[in-house]
Amino acid sequence: MMPNHRLSCSRLTDFRAKGRDFGLAFLPILVLFASAPGEGHARGTGTMPPLAIAPQRLITALADLGRQAQVEILLKAPGLESRQVAGVQGVLPARRAIERLVRGLPVQVRQIGPRLYMIEPRLSRPTRGEPSGQPAATPAPEAFPIAVIARRRAEAEQDVPLMINRLGAEELSVGAVRTLADLARVVPGFVATGQTSSAAPLLVMRGQRRSISDENRLPLAVYLDEVPLPNQATLSPLYDIASVEILRGPQGTLFGRNTTSGAVLVQTAPPGKGIPSYVELDGGNHGLGRAEGALDLRLSSVSALRLSGQRMRRKGFMRLASGGRADDVHSDALRLSYRFAPDDRFSSTTSFDLLNADEKGSALVLAGVYSGGDARNAANAPYYDCGAGVCDVDSYYAIQQQLGGRVSQAGLEPLFRRRFRSLSNVTEYGDDRFKLRNIASWRSTRMNIALDGDGTPLAINDIETSIDLRQWTEEAQAQGKIGRLQYIGGFFYLDSAPAGAMLQKVAQYVRPDNPASFIANYQYFRSAALFGQVTLDLGQGRSVDVGGRYTWENAHGCSLRSPEAQPRSYAACLLAGGSAARSRAGRFTWTLSANQRVGEALFYLTNRRAFRSGGYNSPTLGEKLAAFQRFEPETLTDVEAGVKGAWSSGRVRARYALAAYMGFYHNIQRALFPAADFDGDGIASNDPITLYVNIARARIGGVDADFSATLGGRTRLMLSGAYVDARYTRMDVPQVLAGLIGTDRDGYRFSYTPRFSATASFFQGFALPVGWGEEIELGVDYSYNSRVRFAERANEGFAYQPGYGLLGASIRWREVAGRPIELELWGRNLTDRSYISGGGTLNPVYTTATIIAGPPRTFGLRLRYNFH
């Protein structure tokens, strides 16, 4: 029974009057508890029936055991889901049955609740003579709790009041997921593509995307082993990965960075936890050659080492009219991880990552020309709009229409060179009752980029960029359990700073009297936060989550625009006459959730607030624009209602999740691109590089759905969909900027946001004769996106992609000739659909409109050998 607390109408009215947002925060919880059913979901009453678990894959056997024994079993052992295990028969206590089922596997069983058990890896060597288990088919999406870390602790995905898409190692392999762009192909509502070029990664979810520049203002962050990555570092390849989790919705409490749309959690394969060593070779059309592998070594009973790497080569998809190809791949990556765990209470894992990549990157394709723009003015016309020939932009557009969509006329040869290095450590001490964790990291990001933004041989918008950044992060946590209360609290700190040259050479409408200029931008950014969150079990299947976080952010730097000076440090920028600027901000964010479990289903209602960092414009602006020198953080407050769970009937097992949300987006930052001397003072050095202003509000609503099922032993079906309705509700445009953006909110749409997207996958396995292998599996997948805009102007004629679908397929032969060998023939975009994956320069000021073309049909053959 619920406690008989009363809340008078006047008290509620007074409470809501204190703030619309806080009323929005707590009211859903009151409503849910008022209507919550009185019956709990007590399990396990009565006499235990005999168990009858057949020999099968571990993930399937545990699902059967949990159902028959009426207990919950949490699997926290990535890579072992597909191991074949012997059956269990007879009347046995639940723990003994679980231990018998996993006998011979490098795991241990712990009871962490009255009817809740966790299976996790053990580091010690198996004793001589213990069976190691045999590999089996890909783990199907069973109705079984796989561990996730969405609340910074291992728990069943079905217990987390949040929409999560989780892909394990096998699912990443089946989907041929090698990069975040591949991940977007299999996760509806998640966009990962280039913005302006492949060197500027753009991650979009629930309608929100990053600005064109600035590393530190991200609506969606990527974490590698719980460490937030700088935006450019998200370009690293995905290899030797244990799992990827996509968390949807504002993340303003538990993770290192405040983000308004979500987070991507990438977990690498840990050393000494039973994930086998392997070698994988992949070859295909367009000169694809990939070699990948991992070596897992147990150095002693308390330490382990894992060495993994990937070497990838591929010729470019895009042909350059001047000769050669762009959009190629030429990268080498290495990871070394060492784990020391002398007992069950202490562990320390140190990892070093390296990536060297020397590529051309994307080449933009000329998609159209605007009737206005600076090419048409008197000063530029003789060089860029002369009427015909090599000095006329319209002539190059006519040529482009003859060349087609996979040829670029870029005059500046593209360049995309990366050097990434990182060192991180995760140290833990304690157990489920009380645990201390420390996560520290250092990362170096060095890049050299050359991009022809106009897609013509003309010097309309050509940019060469050098980036050299370093980032430190430190996070200390305390988490544990007191009775029915689970808690986590801690401190996070991030320090990002230039480590070398931060320079751009910008050639925009170059003429004898208008040479290329150099832009220096040295920014130091610090973020610190105190955070805490608790989960309280109220009994009868009810629980609440309450979390809060206060974040302080500080940015300062020096910027300079000059036709001659090329300062290579912050100090040199100041000496050369660069302008100094600073911004500070502090924000409180929260998570509130009321949850009700009914049988295998979890119903939840969540209210969250998160923010996206503010900052300052560069350089010091002239008097006409001085009021816009700084801009404030964006905030998003949302409400999400969802249900998730599992069900089974006979041989059919399924998982499902459905969530509907509504978010209110305030202080939206818009990037504007004023023409030279927009302020009219005749001083080029104070013209804004990019002008960010807070001028809009919006409402973002939608629905996310996910369903997966096994239909018998060898048939799998997966369906996912996302619907997003994002609309501006208000524009507060100062008169001085009205010519850049307009004042009609209906004239603008959210970019990179398809209203509807979906994926469907179907896999059918066929048993093979003894000695031939385990099975042949045929797979077909289809992904669809409705119409996508790549610019926010509603009347934009060049920057959109009509709705399109991509078809993929695979044929996989498992356990070839009874050996731990896997052979797969795969294909992507089998219909060779031509489509646009991202926008380039889409600003009428530059006269040209350019886009990034999506990959064509690709196919190949993959061979993998596992060392079990």
Q: Where are the beta strands (DSSP E) in 677-738?
A: 691-711, 715-731
Residue 729, token pair as written in the block: 């509700």
Q: What gap in Å lies between CA 81 and CA 75, rounded to an integer?
A: 8
Is the distance from CB of 615 to CB of 214 less than 8 angstroms? yes
Average pLDDT over every residue of 424-429: 98
Report residue 72 as tokens. 């919950």
Judged against a pLDDT cut of 90, whether residue 486 lies above it is answered with: yes
Note whether 455 and 422 are within 8 A (CB): no
pLDDT of residue 2: 41
Is pLDDT at 37 greater than 70 in this prediction? no
**Mean pLDDT, residues 848-866 taken together:** 94
| pLDDT score, position 118 | 81
**Separation of alpha carbons 801 and 803, rounded Å:** 6
pLDDT at site 199: 64
pLDDT above 90 (res 602): yes
Which residues fall within 8 angstroms of residue 702, CB to CB, at 6 or more apart?
Answer: 189, 206, 207, 660, 661, 722, 723, 724, 725, 726
* Closest to 833 (Cα-Cα) out of 791, 788, 782: 782
Q: How many Cβ atoms are within 10 Å of 509's Cβ, its own excluded? A: 22
The secondary structure element, H or E, covering residue 514 is none
List, for residues 508-534, the tens digit of each pLDDT value. Answer: 999 999 999 999 999 999 999 999 999
The pLDDT value recorded for residue 90 is 82
Query: Does 466 or 83 have the greater pLDDT score?
Result: 466
pLDDT value at 24 more than 80: no
Do 357 and 330 form a contact (C-beta atoms < 8 A)?
yes
Amino acid at 824: E
What is the CATH architecture of 155-265?
Beta Complex (2.170)
pLDDT of residue 865: 95
| 605 pLDDT above the threshold of 90 | yes
What are 281-331's pLDDT values in tens digits?
999 999 999 999 999 999 999 999 999 999 999 999 999 999 999 999 999
Q: Which two tokens stand for residue 764?
A: 């059918």
- What would the mean pLDDT of 45-49 be, rounded to a whole number? 54
Which pLDDT does position 249 carry in this prediction? 93
CA–CA separation, 121 and 592 (whole Å): 33
pLDDT band at 600, cuts 50/70/90? confident
More confident residue, 136 or 353: 353
Between residues 519 and 42, which one has the greater pLDDT?
519
pLDDT > 80? residue 710: yes
| 537 pLDDT above the threshold of 90 | yes
d(CA 560, CA 778): 58
Is the preceding omega at residue 802 within 30 degrees of 0, hence cis?
no
Query: Encoding tokens for residue 201?
Result: 């990664």
pLDDT of residue 737: 87
pLDDT at 17 over 60: no
**pLDDT tens-digit profile of 580-599?**
999 999 999 999 999 999 98
- Torsion angle of C-alpha atoms 112, 113, 116, 117, degrees rounded to 10: 20
Question: In terms of residues, how long is the chain?
Answer: 868
* pLDDT reading at 22 higher than 60: no
Confidence check: pLDDT of 27 > 70: no
What is the DSSP annotation of 772-788?
Answer: T-SEEEEEEEEEEE--E
Is the distance from CB of 479 to CB of 487 less than 8 angstroms? yes
Q: What is the pLDDT of residue 700?
A: 96
Q: To the nearest whole number, what is the mean pLDDT of the chain?
A: 86
pLDDT band (50, 70, 90) for residue 197: low
Q: Going by DSSP bridges, is the β-strand pair 462-482/72-75 parallel, antiparallel, or unpaired?
A: unpaired
The average pLDDT across 599-606 equals 94
Domain boundaries, the chain: 1-35, 51-136, 155-265, 266-867
Q: Which residues contact 230 (CB under 8 A, 6 or more apart)?
A: 215, 443, 445, 469, 471, 496
What share of the chain has pLDDT > 70, as a percent?
A: 90
- Model confidence at 33, in pLDDT bands (50, 70, 90)? very low
Q: Identify the top-confidence range among 26-40, 360-374, 487-501, 672-686.
A: 487-501
Kindly give the residue spans of alpha helices, DSSP state H, lying in 381-467.
381-384, 393-403
Q: Which pLDDT band holds residue 500 (cuts at 50, 70, 90)?
A: very high
Angle between helices 94-101 and 58-69 (to 10 degrees): 170
| CA 457/CA 440 separation, integer angstroms | 47
What integer is the mean pLDDT of 176-181?
85
Q: Where are the alpha helices (DSSP H) in 731-807?
A: 738-741
For residue 227, what pLDDT is reported?
Answer: 95
Q: What's the CATH fold of domain 266-867?
A: Maltoporin; Chain A (2.40.170)
d(CA 292, CA 385): 50
How does strand 197-205 pair with strand 634-649? Answer: unpaired
Per the model's pLDDT, the better-predicted residue between 704 and 218 turns out to be 704
Q: What is the dihedral of CA 794, 796, 802, 806, to 10 degrees?
A: -110
Over residues 202-219, mean pLDDT:
78
Check if the beta carbon of residue 158 is closer than 8 Å to that of residue 147. Answer: no
Q: Report, in angstroms and rounded to the nearest whole number, the Rg of the chain calculated over CA atoms.
A: 28
Per-residue pLDDT, 471 = 97
Give per-residue pLDDT as tens, 640-665: 999 999 888 878 889 999 999 999 99
**Quick one: pLDDT at residue 738?**
82
Residue 488, pLDDT score: 97
Give the pLDDT mean for 78-100: 81
Answer whether residue 41 shows pLDDT above 60: no
The pTM for the full model equals 0.85
Q: Residue 92: enclosing H or E segment and its boundaries?
A: none
Pairing of strands 462-482, 485-498: antiparallel
705 CB-near residues (< 8 Å, 6+ apart): 656, 657, 658, 659, 719, 720, 721, 722
pLDDT higher than threshold 60 for residue 672: yes
Q: What is the pLDDT of residues 548-568, one digit of tens each?
A: 999 999 999 999 989 999 999
Structure confidence at residue 226 (pLDDT): 95
pLDDT above 80 (res 840): yes
> What topology does CATH give the domain 51-136?
Phage tail protein beta-alpha-beta fold (3.55.50)
pLDDT beyond 90 at 747:
no
Quote the CA–CA distance of 734 and 626 in Å, as a whole number.
13
- What are the pLDDT digits (tens) for 124-135? 444 333 333 333
- As a whole number of angstroms, the distance between CA 205 and CA 187 comes to 10
Higher-pLDDT residue of 621 and 399 is 399
Sign for the pseudo-dihedral over CA of 391, 394, 395, 396: positive
Contact present, 438 and 427 (Cβ < 8 Å): yes
Average pLDDT of span 768-789:
92
* pLDDT: which is higher, 99 or 334: 334
Upper half-sphere CA count for residue 144 (Cβ side, 13 Å)? 26
